[in-house]
Amino acid sequence: MKIAVFASGTGSNFQAIIDAVSAGELAVEIGLLVCDKQEAKAIERAANHGIPTFVFSPKSYPSKEAFETDILEQLKAHSIDWIFLAGYMRLIGNVLLGSYTGRIVNIHPSLLPSFPGKDAIGQALQAGVKLTGVTIHYVDEGMDTGPVIAQEAVRIDESDTRESLQRKIQATEHRLYIQTIGNLLTGARA
Ligand code: GRF
């Protein structure tokens, strides 16, 4: 199985996937990083591990269809089977949804359907909830709306700051994403 990871930023989830593959814990090949930000740290992580990267500038295209058509060409050229979003800050459009139906997955730092969209951790703190968490879901045309694959709760303690909560959520994300990718791709092979 060959996967592509889409990221726009730091790429700590991308790194967790790289590390799990290197450690032999995840039997997949990371065939491509797709990135829409020239300065993203994820690009450096890919370079450190010899992972091919397609970096594009959305503004230089007339439409989402146009840049997704270029992405699709890259995915095909690298024989990518599944797409895993890891902090990719754009909605996926019809070109990719049509070609990778049921094979695009996202991770989100809340228990969806609570707190979709940007800054889910800040939204949870603002709402004063005692439990938040991590959701992994199939991607559809909406924002963080596709069918849920896996969820895990993270407790918000009185003493938590934004930083400490973020650390707990990240640790959960890294573990749950690896486990879920493994489960999904084993299922896909059966
Ligand atoms: C993660 O919290 C993920 O759930 C969300 O974006 C963040 C990406 O973090 N979709 P990183 O770039 O993987 O560190």
| CATH architecture assignment, domain 2-186 | 3-Layer(aba) Sandwich (3.40)
Nearest atom in ligand 1 to the alpha carbon of residue 10 is: 12
Burial class (CB in 10 A: 0-12, 13-18, 19+), 10: middle
Alpha-carbon distance 95 to 103, whole Å? 13
**11 CA distance to ligand 1 centroid (A)?**
7
Catalytic residues: 108
H helices of the chain, in order, are 12-22, 41-48, 64-77, 94-99, 120-127, 162-189
Domain ranges across the chain:
2-186
Q: To the nearest 5 percent, what fractions of the chain are helix, strand and coil?
A: 40, 20, 35
Tell me if residue 44 falls in helix, strand or coil: helix
pLDDT in tens, 31-60: 999 999 999 999 999 999 999 999 999 999
What is the number of the ligand 1 atom nearest to the C-alpha of 16?
13
- pLDDT tens-digit profile of 154-188? 999 999 999 999 999 999 999 999 999 999 997 65
